[in-house]
Structure formats: C-alpha cells, structure tokens
Amino acid sequence: MRLATLLLLSTLQTGAALAQASSHSPTPAAVMDDAPPALRTLLQQASALESAPDTIGTADHLWQAAVLYCQASRWGSAEGQYRLGMLYAFGQGVPENRAHAASLFSLAASLGHAQASQMLDSIGVTSAELPACVNQDQSPEKAPLQPYHGVPADLHPGNGQSIDQYLLALPDHKRWLIPLATTMSAWYALDPKLVLSVIAVESNFNTAAQSPKAAMGLMQLIPDTAERFNVRNAYDASQNLRGGMRYLRWLLSYYRGNIAYAAAAYNAGEGRVDRYKGVPPFPETRAYVKRVLGLYGSSRHAFDENLTLASPWLAAGAR
C-alpha cells in the first residue's frame, strides 16, 4: 500500500468507518427519488459501476464511475460530488488526491450533504482545488493499475524472484532456450517474459520433463493439448513451444487478458476455471498461479478478442 494511502487512513479515524460503510454501497434511494430523471439515471449507472467486482475483466470500472460522477458534479449534484471525493480520497479509479477530495467534500457539504461534512472534518485538509473534470467537460485522469489488480490477496506473490533474476541463474546448457522462446513469442503476440515464466514453472527449462500425469516437455503439454494444437513430438523444443504458446494465446483471449485465469486454466484446464468462475481452490493450482504471477510481475496481458469468444461467465459478468 502506498505511503500516502497509509497516512490518509491514519488521519481519517471516524471517517474511515464511514468510508467503509459507504464507499461501494448503492446510492441512497432518497437521493435517487429527489434527483431529476437524467441525474437519477447518471447516479444509478455510476453506482452500479462503482459496485462492480474487480475480477471480471472490467479494470476501468471505477474510473468509468468517476467519469459519470464528474458529470453529475458539474450538474450540481451533492451526491455526485461526495462520491467523486471518496474516489479521490482513496485513489480508486483516479489518482489519490486529498486536495481534490477535500474540495469536493466542501462543495457537497455546502449543499447540505451530511456525509460529505463528516468526511471533510475527518480528512483534515482545506482546499479549493477541484478536479478539472468538475469545471469543464473532460474525463478525469486514471489511477495507475497495481501489478496484481483484480487478483485475490492470497494469490499475490509478494516480493519474490522475477523472471529476469531467474534467467540470470539458469545453467549454461539451458540458456539456448531463451532466444528460441523469445523469438517464437513474437510470432504469437505474446510477451516473452510471460512465456518464459510459464516454462520456468512448468519444467524448469527441461526439454525432457515428464509429469506423473503424462505432461511433456518444456511447457508440459498433456496428450490432449498436444493433439489439439497439432504437436507430434512434445519433446522437440520448437514443437512444444509452438503448442504451448498457441494454447496460452487462446487462453488469454478466452479470459480476456486475465493472467491468473489463463494460468489456472493452463494448469487445471479451462473447464475447472469456468466451473469455479475463477482460480479453482486446488492448492497446486493456486500455488502455480501465484508463482507465474510472481515471476512475470503483472496480472494482465494483451489479447486478441477475435481469436475466440470470452468465457461465458466472464462475458456475463462484464455486461
């Protein structure tokens, strides 16, 4: 957690409890009833976005809520100003900015918003610095995504070894595989560091690796996967990499760039990920995902949405 956030949380005191109760809660019905129809619709849409889970591939949902709250604030909505202030106070969707938060709370409090008045007392900052999106029709800036945004806390890898550090220690007789995998990664529009991370976890760069479940070679292809991607000799490095990369690319498309889901499916099969609507509760799979994320250092990857339709439960959640 950033130092600025820790300082903010330590000063909010009673405001922190209020924030916990109201940050992702629906906009009160009384506020909706009193608002003009257009403003009511805007607040409802923003509230729905703010309450959406982080794990369904909508990494921008809090920022999209901020865009709508900016518009509501320009229309003079105290609730919109308060909600936007909360997003700035805690750095959700927009960069953390206590001055912006204080000015928004002050504006909403002047319109009689009780919770905004409480937050203004708790935050301990006086400011007239409103976000630009409140003064003119423009989008707010986006908060930078954290490396493991949307990944459950128990899957965060911490400060472990990166793939670069891992490769530095790779024995000489295995190092020829690095340029081969790097070159082939470009053919499949994959980040070579992700491919190398998967290889490291799957086989430790052992072309002859075989698991008790008959997974074979560098990227540990089971017979069904090898057949699916037309790999005739899974112990041939180039063939194995081709099959593994094609499968990984397909999984990234199917799970819309979510590496945790793609890695879990690579380990346990997409059927199990779909059944549990996320990373399955199997200790082996969760440890696998955690290690891949730790080596790679991110939870997102670009994907080709035209390669396959999204997983049905993921697509349903994103609507």
**Which residues participate in catalysis according to the annotation?**
202
- Enumerate residues 6+ apart whose C-beta is below 8 A from 241: 180, 181, 184, 195, 218, 219
Q: Three-class SS of residue 196?
A: helix
Is-contact 288 267, C-beta < 8 A? yes
218-221-223-224 Cα dihedral, nearest 10 degrees:
-160
**What is the token pair recorded at 26?**
């629906």
HEC string for 82-109: HHHHHHHHHCCCCCCCHHHHHHHHHHHH
Q: Which of 49, 102, 109 is nearest to 78 (CA)?
A: 109
- Enumerate residues 6+ apart whose C-beta is below 8 A from 31: 43, 79
d(CA 115, CA 136): 25
d(CA 212, CA 304): 33
